[in-house]
A and B are shown apart, each in its own frame.
Chain A
Amino acid sequence: MTTPSKELTREEAEAFGRELDELRRRVVADLGERDVAHIRSVARTAHYSEVAGRGLLHIGIGPVSFVVGVSALALSKILENMELGHNIMHGQYDWTGDPALDSQRYEWDIACDGDDWRHSHNYEHHTFTNILGKDRDIGYGFLRVTPEQPWRPLHLTQPAFAALLALFFQWGVGAHDLHFSEILSGKQSPEGLARRARPFLSKAAWQLFKDYGLFPALALANAPRVAFGNLLANGTRNVWTFAVIFCGHFPEGVRVYQPEEAEGESRGQWYVRQLNGSANIEGGRWLHILTGHLSHQIEHHMFPDVPASRYPEMAPKVREICGRYGQRYGTGSFRRQLGSVLGRITSLSLPGPMSFKKARLDGTQPFCAPETPTTGEGRRGDAAAPYRAAA
């Protein structure tokens, strides 16, 4: 069990922020050739593995070439979406002046429209990170991922819903900026939704055409094999990105904020919120690249427009600074973080836990939930306990 972060005074938070600003300044001053070389080599790998994957699917026969082909195509899609698309669209490479790395013009190979993403993710999520009611990434408007969200009976279905979301994650991401739930609450008219959905529908149509129309047609007799292969590659990418992204904000120990808490916050306090609203995944170089360095979610949220491949070298310094200010630096292995997220989704599908809410209201605990070690098993018991007691 790790200790929750210390509440910092405004002055302390400012000093904390200044140290992070200084770290950022040092890295930005050092950007150059090697960052460009890195991103271009990732792009090259993605291009070659796409051609290899499609080639094997199109002209191969038998299951071995099918499995290798699907893997290569999935790898390409993962690299393109994560290390390239996500990071380029954050403006991490805008300083290069290369139009191929231009945040405003880049379009990624996924059902989500680039402009929708730039709005819902770069602006909404990164500005209002983990503020209840403002960051729509908290549970994506449906899932209950923190005890602060009020329980609804529909949440009983959320383990199944989460599994579906994992399989079709790109469609969830794509539809995220449409604000579907606002239809239910009457905040959005059907006409407004139709207008808002246009870029997504157009992007989705082209994506479907590409993967399930054009490429299978080019494969002639191999069409079913290609269509199925594309489906599996897309699905693999979906499950992988779901897992990575859910590990970024929803593991145990990550806290959410009430809108009042973030009102008028300083730059330093913004840093504190980014830190306490994010969690890292530990791993090697390839894990980091395959997650688009979202395994360094903390560094990403502090420095969203610094080239992500710099996060591993920034992390020890960030961690050291956090240590000095008594801030929790949430990190763990992929298994641990994912187990924690899945456990949480399961346990929070049940109402409660009342004890946490009470603690928050008392102001005795700045933290939403006590930390328990690994898997969901223990957590589920904990979370359900007050509910069962009440029943």
Chain B
Amino acid sequence: MAWIQEVSRAWTKTRSTAARRLFLDRQAEFWLAEVDPVRSLTETRARVVRVIEETADTKTFVVRPSANWPGHRPGQFTTVEVEIDGVRVRRCYSISSAPGDSLVAFTVKRLPTGRVSAWLHDHLSPGDVLRLSEPAGDFVLPEPTPEKLLFVSGGSGITPVMSMLRGLHHRGAVRDLVFVHYARSRSDVIFAEELRRLADRHPGLRLVLRLDDDPSPRRGFDEADFAELVPDFRDRSTFLCGPAPLMDRAEKMWRAADASGRLSRERFSAEPKLRALSGPTSEVHVRFGRTGRDLVAAGAGSLLEQLERAGARLPSGCRMGICHTCTCHKKSGTVENLVTGEVSSEPDQKIRLCISAPRSDLELDL
């Protein structure tokens, strides 16, 4: 019945308008969080339940998300948002727990220059509240599960495939799976104990650890070694996640074997390349994420002026950095603040277009 839908749609819209215009949404959000910091109507929050030291530089954070957590498919990632010294920062982490669990786990390797990973390692502890985005990513086990599977992972790239393995284990669906994992040493293998337990339990799971410090086999990924290890790799639905060198060589091998169609991969996102200080002639590509528009910004002046020259019509006011009319979200890329000389290369930062100069290709939330 169309009119019922129409009435219900109109009602929903009126309700949300009224809530906003009467500030009831803000009130509700405040008082909910006052009662329980995990509760929210607008975002998914989670409370840290447990922190597990996996290896010397890797920790798993087990969190209990609020009721509006939609659940994930094994292999997907979530964007974890925490507040570091008053500033909200976000990082994507693969979910390592099995789907359907009431607890969600993500595993973080401490990067030598990673501000956020270091903060998570040093400060995040049970009881803390963080925010999670809706799980995303196409690096997932297809339905129905393929008969013959192959997981290839390196280092902390094990996390999404671990979620897949745990999911299969929960469903009793570990039938014919080869799991090859590369790590620097035995003590660097994340989830080592659980992997061994699962391998003992499931005759269909063949676990191979390739360790750099093992005396016998070759170090790292080696095509000949791998072909010997898994002769039927071409016929297996393969899930690959690891550092770039491993990924590159494996992809080449699959291409050469004409088996790319059966290879799914998850890349760790690469940092945008920093341009040399932009001379007046350098060009950058700017993508407007919301509208999908692509522009080339070039020439003198601020990013705002460059985009306007490229044909964009953007809200702006004082054009000197004080009124914030042109403030927008930079999803990725690097800009330089023309007033302070400060360089912003973190994803998801607010920038003022009128006092920013592009230093790399950009994606803006416009």
A25-B340, A47-B31 are known contacts. Are A97 and B350 too (CB-CB below 8 A)? yes
Across the interface, do B22 and A210 meet the contact criterion of CB distance under 8 Å?
A: yes
Interface residues of A in 60-100 (CB under 8 A from B): 90-91, 94-100
Residues of B with C-beta under 8 A to A36:
83, 86
Residues of B with C-beta under 8 A to A305:
321-322, 324
Question: A123: which of B26, B83, B323 is its contact (CB, 8 Å)?
Answer: B323
Residue B318 lies at the interface, judged by CB distance under 8 Å to chain A = yes
Stretch at the interface among A26-34, A287-295, A378-386: A26-34
Residue B348 lies at the interface, judged by CB distance under 8 Å to chain A = yes
Cα distance, A284 to B41, chains bound together (Å): 38
Residues of B with C-beta under 8 A to A44:
30, 34
Across the interface, do A118 and B349 meet the contact criterion of CB distance under 8 Å?
A: no
Residues of B with C-beta under 8 A to A118:
317, 323-325
Residues of B with C-beta under 8 A to A123:
317-318, 323, 325
Residue A126 lies at the interface, judged by CB distance under 8 Å to chain B = yes
Residues of B with C-beta under 8 A to A377:
none
Residue A104 lies at the interface, judged by CB distance under 8 Å to chain B = yes
Residues of A with C-beta under 8 A to B325:
118-119, 122-123
Across the interface, do B327 and A103 meet the contact criterion of CB distance under 8 Å?
A: yes
In the complex, what residue of chain B is closest to A37 when comparing beta carbons?
A: B86
A97-B350, A122-B317, A127-B317 are known contacts. Are A33 and B86 too (CB-CB below 8 A)? yes
Residue B14 lies at the interface, judged by CB distance under 8 Å to chain A = no
Produce 1/0 per residue, A28-60, CB < 8 A to B.
100111111100000110010000000000000
Residue A371 lies at the interface, judged by CB distance under 8 Å to chain B = no
Residue A21 lies at the interface, judged by CB distance under 8 Å to chain B = yes
Across the interface, do B22 and A126 meet the contact criterion of CB distance under 8 Å?
A: no
Residues of B with C-beta under 8 A to A210:
21-23
Residues of A with C-beta under 8 A to B327:
91, 94, 103-104
- Within the complex, the shortest CB–CB distance from B325 to chain A, in Å, comes to 6
- Within the complex, the shortest CB–CB distance from A44 to chain B, in Å, comes to 8
Contact residues of A: prevailing secondary structure? helix
Cα distance, A34 to B86, chains bound together (Å): 7
Cα distance, A126 to B22, chains bound together (Å): 29
In the complex, what residue of chain A is closest to B90 when comparing beta carbons?
A: A97
Cα distance, A34 to B85, chains bound together (Å): 8
Residue B29 lies at the interface, judged by CB distance under 8 Å to chain A = yes
Cα distance, A31 to B88, chains bound together (Å): 13
A95-B350, A104-B327, A118-B323 are known contacts. Are A32 and B22 too (CB-CB below 8 A)? no
Residue A214 lies at the interface, judged by CB distance under 8 Å to chain B = yes
- Within the complex, the shortest CB–CB distance from B351 to chain A, in Å, comes to 10
Cα distance, A103 to B325, chains bound together (Å): 9
Across the interface, do B324 and A35 meet the contact criterion of CB distance under 8 Å?
A: no
Question: B88: which of A33, A35, A98, A270 is its contact (CB, 8 Å)?
Answer: A98
- Within the complex, the shortest CB–CB distance from A340 to chain B, in Å, comes to 27
Across the interface, do A119 and B88 meet the contact criterion of CB distance under 8 Å?
A: no
Across the interface, do A122 and B339 meet the contact criterion of CB distance under 8 Å?
A: no
Residue A161 lies at the interface, judged by CB distance under 8 Å to chain B = no
Question: B318: which of A103, A127, A203 is its contact (CB, 8 Å)?
Answer: A127
Across the interface, do A35 and B86 meet the contact criterion of CB distance under 8 Å?
A: yes
Residue B87 lies at the interface, judged by CB distance under 8 Å to chain A = yes
A103-B327, A104-B324, A122-B325 are known contacts. Are A47 and B30 too (CB-CB below 8 A)? yes
Residue A109 lies at the interface, judged by CB distance under 8 Å to chain B = yes
- Within the complex, the shortest CB–CB distance from B24 to chain A, in Å, comes to 9
A43-B30, A94-B327 are known contacts. Are A32 and B85 too (CB-CB below 8 A)? yes
In the complex, what residue of chain B is closest to A121 when comparing beta carbons?
A: B323
Residues of B with C-beta under 8 A to A387:
none
- Within the complex, the shortest CB–CB distance from A275 to chain B, in Å, comes to 15
Cα distance, A95 to B327, chains bound together (Å): 11
Question: B23: which of A21, A95, A109 is its contact (CB, 8 Å)?
Answer: A109
Cα distance, A95 to B89, chains bound together (Å): 11
Cα distance, A96 to B321, chains bound together (Å): 17
- Within the complex, the shortest CB–CB distance from A193 to chain B, in Å, comes to 22
Across the interface, do A304 and B86 meet the contact criterion of CB distance under 8 Å?
A: no
Residues of A with C-beta under 8 A to B320:
127, 267, 270
Across the interface, do A97 and B339 meet the contact criterion of CB distance under 8 Å?
A: no
A28-B340, A36-B86, A97-B348 are known contacts. Are A304 and B29 too (CB-CB below 8 A)? no
Residue B145 lies at the interface, judged by CB distance under 8 Å to chain A = no
Residue B12 lies at the interface, judged by CB distance under 8 Å to chain A = no
Cα distance, A109 to B322, chains bound together (Å): 23
Question: B87: which of A28, A91, A97, A127 is its contact (CB, 8 Å)?
Answer: A97
A103-B324, A126-B323, A214-B22 are known contacts. Are A96 and B86 too (CB-CB below 8 A)? yes
Cα distance, A94 to B350, chains bound together (Å): 7
Produce 1/0 per residue, B47-78, CB < 8 A to A.
00000000000000000000000000000000
In the complex, what residue of chain B is closest to A106 when comparing beta carbons?
A: B26
- Within the complex, the shortest CB–CB distance from A345 to chain B, in Å, comes to 28
Residues of A with C-beta under 8 A to B86:
31-37, 95-96
Produce 1/0 per residue, A173-202, CB < 8 A to B.
000000000000000000000000000000
Residues of A with C-beta under 8 A to B85:
32-33
Cα distance, A144 to B129, chains bound together (Å): 54
Residue B27 lies at the interface, judged by CB distance under 8 Å to chain A = yes
Cα distance, A126 to B321, chains bound together (Å): 11
Residues of B with C-beta under 8 A to A206:
21-22
Interface residues of B in 82-132 (CB under 8 A from A): 83, 85-89
Cα distance, A21 to B27, chains bound together (Å): 38
Produce 1/0 per residue, A103-127, CB < 8 A to B.
1100101000000001100110011
Cα distance, A47 to B24, chains bound together (Å): 12
Produce 1/0 per residue, A278-310, CB < 8 A to B.
000000000000000000000000001100000
In the complex, what residue of chain B is closest to A307 when comparing beta carbons?
A: B86
Across the interface, do B324 and A94 meet the contact criterion of CB distance under 8 Å?
A: yes
In the complex, what residue of chain B is closest to A98 when comparing beta carbons?
A: B88
**Which B residues fall within an 8 A CB radius of A?**
20-23, 26-27, 29-31, 34, 42, 83, 85-89, 317-318, 320-325, 327, 339-340, 348-350
**Which A residues fall within an 8 A CB radius of B?**
21, 25, 28, 31-37, 43-44, 47, 90-91, 94-100, 103-104, 107, 109, 118-119, 122-123, 126-127, 203, 206, 209-210, 214, 267, 270, 304-305
* Besides A32-B85, A95-B87, 20 new A-B residue pairs in contact (Cβ under 8 A), listed by A number: A28-B340, A44-B30, A47-B27, A94-B324, A94-B327, A100-B26, A100-B29, A104-B327, A119-B317, A119-B325, A122-B318, A122-B324, A123-B323, A206-B22, A209-B22, A210-B23, A214-B22, A270-B320, A304-B322, A305-B324
13 contacts between A and B (CB under 8 A): A33-B85, A33-B86, A36-B86, A47-B31, A95-B87, A96-B83, A97-B88, A104-B327, A109-B23, A123-B323, A127-B317, A127-B322, A210-B23
